[in-house]
Amino acid sequence: MWEQQLGDEAWAMWVQAKREIAAASLRYGGSISACHGSCREGEVDLVPQELGRGFEVMLDVKRALDPNNVMNPGKYLLDLAYEGDAGAALAALRGGSG
C-alpha cells in the first residue's frame, strides 16, 4: 500500500489530516464511513461519536456473536466489547467522563 512508503513524520501528518477532515465532516453533519468503513488510524476513534448509542449496540452484538473475538479483532474499536468497563472507555473517546 502507498502508506507503507511514508516515513514516520509524513505518516503522522497524514493521520492528523485524516482526523481533522473526519472531525470536520462530523461537525457539519456528514459521515466518516465509506465502502471500507472507518477502521484505520486517524478516524477510527471518531466512530463512536458518529454512531452514538448505535456503537454501544455494535459492542453488544460483537460480544454476543463473537465471544472469543476471532472475527476481525481490532477493527472499529470493537475490542472495547471485551473490556470490563466499555462505558468508561467510550466516554473517554467521546471526551466525557465515566
Q: All 3 cell numbers of residue 84? A: 470490563
Distance, CA of 68 to CA of 31 (rounded, Å): 30
pTM of the model: 0.68
85 three-class SS:
coil
Look at phi and psi of residue 51 and say left if phi exceeds 0, alpha if psi is from -120 to 50, else beta: alpha
pLDDT band at 2 (very low <50, low <70, confident <90, very high): low
Single-letter amino acid code for the residue at 27: R
pLDDT at position 68, please?
Answer: 94
Convert the pLDDT of each residue in 8-41 to its tens digit: 898 888 888 888 988 898 899 988 876 555 666 7
| Res 97 pLDDT > 60 | no
Convert the pLDDT of each residue in 37-85 to its tens digit: 566 677 788 888 888 888 889 899 999 999 999 998 888 788 888 887 7
